[in-house]
Amino acid sequence: MAAFLNIVIVGLLLGGIYGLVSMGLNLIFGVVRIVNFAQGELVMLGMYGAYLSWFLLGLDPYVSALVVVPCLFVLGVIIQRFVLQPLQNEPFMQIFATFGLLILFQNAVLAITRGTGYSVHSELSRIVISVGDINVNLSRLIVLATVIVVAIGANWFLHSTMYGKAVRAVTQDRRSARLMGINVELAFMLTFGVGAALAGLAGVLLAPIYTLSPQIGGNFILAAFAVVVLGGLGSVWGAFFGGFIIGLIEAFAGYYLSPELKHAIWFLVFIAVLIVRPGGLFGIAGAEEVGLREQD
């Protein structure tokens, strides 16, 4: 029983990590309708941003979010404005461009660091909370708390503010939204910026947990895509619960079955769910019908 409970906790904490990484992707994927392959690299840049703030300014990674997150927001706006917006009518080329960005960011960091595996320090990441047989590192708990706050915040924002309503309008029908006087391009820029900022936030919060490498973004991206699609396009709660579902499956498969097969198992579950419910678990029915080419 203790082991079972422990695995539940492990799965929830892992789900928190997946959820946090997926929040930004979900926003970009859901609203701007771009499969952003470079999202993992934005998380990676957030991590290195935390390292740099620590190295240069001596900032604790949790404080450095105040610097890193706005920087990533600006980067996201720039990417949307100068790379993706000009390609708005060429969805295939948008994917292509994000792949170019992926290679670009990865290797820029590699060229600068030569690939040394840096670590970011925070006193908080050394604190372990123990309840009985269950041990939880504070830095992972912070991730979990953050994903809850972000999900609630995003949900409130999308449903209770004018801007959020505009974003949802753009998501549902960008042509009509434009007719209603919504500046679609601006909405996209800000959305992509927020998506990148969320990736940066994820990077900062994950930096104390991992050893940084230029390729680390790739470790998250596939899971993040799976979470977003599993949860359902355009649904904040989808990404939230999707993360936990995948985290729990991975933890249980890894502990009780075989660590070697845990990824195959959750990928297969993911594909199976998708086949039964193409719109994702929490998706708006028919969202999956929106193919790449139906943008305008």
Partner 1 sequence: MNKTDIQAMPAGLAGAGAGGTARPKVTTFATELGRIAAIGLFFAVCLFLFRSDPFILNMMAYTFLFAALSTSWNIIGGFGGQFSLGHGVFFAIGAYTTANLYFHWQVSPWLSLIPGMILASIVAVAVSWPTFRLKGPFFAIATLALNEVAFVLATYFDSVTGGPRGMLLPFKAGLVNMVFTSRLPYAIIMVGFLLISLVVAAYVLRGRLGYYLQAVHLDEDAARAAGIDVLKVKLTGMAISAALTGIGGALFAMYLRFVDPPTVLNIQDIGVKFLLIALIGGVGTLYGPLLGALLIIPLESYLRATLGGTIPGINLLILGGLLVLFALFMRRGIFGALQGAWERYRGARS
Partner 2 sequence: MMKLTRRAALAGAAMALCLAVPGGASAEETFKVGTINPYSGPLALYGGEVNRGYELAADAVNKAGGILGRQIEILKGDATNPQEGIAAVERLATRDNADAFIGTYLSAVAGAASETALNYNKLYWDTNALATNLTERGLPNYIRSGPYSVSFADVSIDLILNSLAAKLGKQPGELTVWLEHEESVYGTSIAEHQKERLEAAGVKVLGIGAHSYKSIDLTDSVLRARDANPDIWVQTGYVPDGNLLLRTARDQGFKPKATVFVGTGDTKETLEAMGADGLEGLLVVSYPRPDISEAYGPGSKAYLEAYRAKYGEDPIAPQSMAAFVGFKIMASAINKAGSAEPEAVAGVLGSFDEPLRTYETGFGAKFDDNKQNLRAFPTVIQWQGGKQITVFPDDAAGDNKMVNIGN
- Does 262 engage in binding with partner 2 (CB under 8 A)? yes
Binds partner 1 by CB under 8 A, chosen from 102, 142, 194, 198:
102
- Does 3 engage in binding with partner 2 (CB under 8 A)? yes
- Does 103 engage in binding with partner 1 (CB under 8 A)? yes
- Does 114 engage in binding with partner 2 (CB under 8 A)? yes
- Does 211 engage in binding with partner 2 (CB under 8 A)? yes
- Does 121 engage in binding with partner 1 (CB under 8 A)? no
Binds partner 1 by CB under 8 A, chosen from 12, 33, 46, 212:
33
Closest approach of Cβ 147 to partner 1, in Å?
A: 21
With CB under 8 A as the rule, give the number of residues binding partner 1: 52
With CB under 8 A as the rule, give the number of residues binding partner 2: 41
Phi, psi of 13 (to 5 degrees): -65, -40
- Does 99 engage in binding with partner 2 (CB under 8 A)? no
One character per residue 214-253, x = contact with partner 1 (rule: CB under 8 A): x-------x--xx--x---x--------------------
- Does 83 engage in binding with partner 1 (CB under 8 A)? yes
Phi, psi of 115 (to 5 degrees): 90, 15
- Residue with smaller CB distance to partner 1, 29 or 241: 29
Query: Mapped to the 3 state alphabet, what secondary structure does the chain carry?
Result: CHHHHHHHHHHHHHHHHHHHHHHHHHHHHHHHCCCCCCHHHHHHHHHHHHHHHHHHHCCCHHHHHHHHHHHHHHHHHHHHHHHHHHHCCCHHHHHHHHHHHHHHHHHHHHHHHCCCCCCCCCHHHHCEEEECCEEEEHHHHHHHHHHHHHHHHHHHHHHHCHHHHHHHHHHHCHHHHHHCCCCHHHHHHHHHHHHHHHHHHHHHHHCCCCCCCCCHHHHHHHHHHHHHHHHCCCCHHHHHHHHHHHHHHHHHHHHHHCCCCHHHHHHHHHHHHHHHCCCCCCCCCCHHHCCHHHCC
Binds partner 2 by CB under 8 A, chosen from 124, 255, 267, 274:
255
- Residue with smaller CB distance to partner 1, 19 or 280: 280
- Does 115 engage in binding with partner 1 (CB under 8 A)? yes
> Which of partner 2, partner 1, none is residue 210 near (CB under 5 to 8 Å by kind)?
partner 2
**Residue span binding partner 1 (CB under 8 A) among the ranges 43-51, 60-68, 177-185, 268-276:** 268-276
